[in-house]
Amino acid sequence: MLKNLVAQRVNPDVPSALSGLFVNDPDPHAISFAAGSPNERLFPVKEMQRAFNTAIEQQGAHLFQYQSMQGNLNLREKLVARIQKWGHVTTTADNVLVTVGGQQAIELVAKALLDPGDEMVVEVPTYVGALAAFDLYQPTYYSVDLQADGLDLDELEDTLKRHPGIKLLYTVPDYHNPTGITMSVAKRQALVTLANRYDFIILEDSPYRDLGYANLPLPAIKSFDTQDRVIFVSSLSKILMPALRTGWLVADGPILDAILKVRLASDLEANGVIHAAIANYMEENDLDQHVNVLKDHYRQQCTAMVAALENDFPEEVSFTRPKGGFFDWVTLPEELDAAALLSQQVIPQAHINYVPGTNFYPGRDVHNSLRLCFSGLSPAEISAGMGRLGEQVKAAVREVRPVL
Ligand SMILES: Cc1ncc(COP(=O)(O)O)c(C=O)c1O
């Protein structure tokens, strides 16, 4: 059996929790709230085409040469200016690594920091792609609940006292995937204080930070870092285009050195042709103006989804009210299993798709929640789809909680 030759940590009998997550449903009648993709109708295709042409015209053959392990310097300088302006992080281009999406940044951090059995904390629920990356390095997970203003810091401190060996904490502080929750500024600061006191590293993953519908981005957790313990990760996937596969991280000192070492072994460097085009795009266009257009669309889509949750769903169901990003998190009564509901009723009867919540927990032990993504649909499609989903949920709730 060739499968026996696969490394045990890859767990070959279990498919990746990420597989299928970014694919749109082939059923023409389906409305999919599953795919966590940005809305491609909003991609600045012409502007990007011009930026690629400029890169080729300006640099010719040299553009296609090996370039830089850390990524195009011009692009790194532009990213430094953005995170200084919007995240209050003071850093330099030497501390930035451009990666193949934010996903690679997470995976490089996992590879650089985690030995099998190492203890780490994740907020729950958490980004399924981060779990997919961490899982390969076999950590011991501790889960800490999310509150309306982010991580429950009392529960975190309790966990840290009981497990003093914890070395890494992963958090998505801004318009969190999958819940849409944002961590308060006070908690960001307090989290860094805890990291200093209990000697762990914070991996701050923030691809949605620019997409607050009515708010400017909050100071990054990294902006409170006094001991080089915070690794900041972001991405251009959600504010430009995901196929550019361009993410980035900011780190310092020995942590940065370790990440650079594993990056060299992984792929030498990311795609310099694309970096040059993005740098040109950012020179020739106002990225913040583009982001404002996105925010306006996503706000209307989110409003349509929350209105439908309020009007079309039974009161036994609870849900978040995001102020930015792509996602809403729905919690059903405990007796219901969101995966079974999806495959047995929602897809066949209503032609609606969503992501059941189980894979967003490291223990895969919570079954009554689901993630809804509204980014790719118009408000009309959202209202229609949510009406159909609401009918199914109502029927399922009435079965387990009959009205007497
Ligand atoms: C929280 C979070 N982190 C990282 C990523 C990775 O995105 P990308 O690799 O496209 O930058 C995603 C994508 O959905 C995400 O939601």
Assess whether 131 and 222 both reside in one domain.
Answer: yes
Percent of the chain with pLDDT over 90: 91
Question: How many Cβ atoms are within 10 Å of 255's Cβ, its own excluded?
Answer: 18
pLDDT tens per residue across span 199-245: 999 999 999 999 999 989 999 999 999 999 999 999 999 999 999 99
Residue 91 belongs to domain with CATH number: 3.40.640.10
Q: Are 10 and 90 in a shared domain? A: no
In the chain, % of residues over pLDDT 70: 98
What is the β-pairing status of strands 318-319 and 327-331? antiparallel
Task: Supply the mean pLDDT for the chain.
Answer: 95
Q: Is 220 in the same domain as 352?
A: no
Same domain, 31 and 60: no
* pLDDT in the model for residue 18: 78
In whole angstroms, give the CA distance from residue 63 to residue 60. 6
Ligand 1 touching residue 173 (CB < 6 A) = no
pLDDT of 19 reads: 72
36 shares its domain with 50:
no
Q: How high is the pLDDT of residue 76?
A: 98
Q: Is 172 in the pocket of ligand 1 (CB under 6 A)?
A: yes
Counting the structural domains of the chain, the total is 2
Please give the distance, rounded to the nearest whole angstrom, from the Cα atom of residue 102 to the centre of ligand 1: 5
Residue 20 has pLDDT above 80, yes or no: no
Answer yes or no: do 213 and 334 share one domain.
Answer: no
Contact partners, residue 225, CB within 8 Å, separation at least 6? 192, 202, 252
Q: Is 95 helix (H, G, I), strand (E, B) or coil?
A: helix
Through-space distance between the first and last CA atoms of the chain, rounded to whole angstroms = 56
What's the 275 CA to ligand 1 centre distance in angstroms?
Answer: 18
| Same domain (yes/no): 331, 384 | yes
Determine the distance separating the centroid of ligand 1 and the alpha carbon of 349, expressed in angstroms.
31
* Domain identity same for 233 and 119: yes
Structure tokens at 113: 């920091």
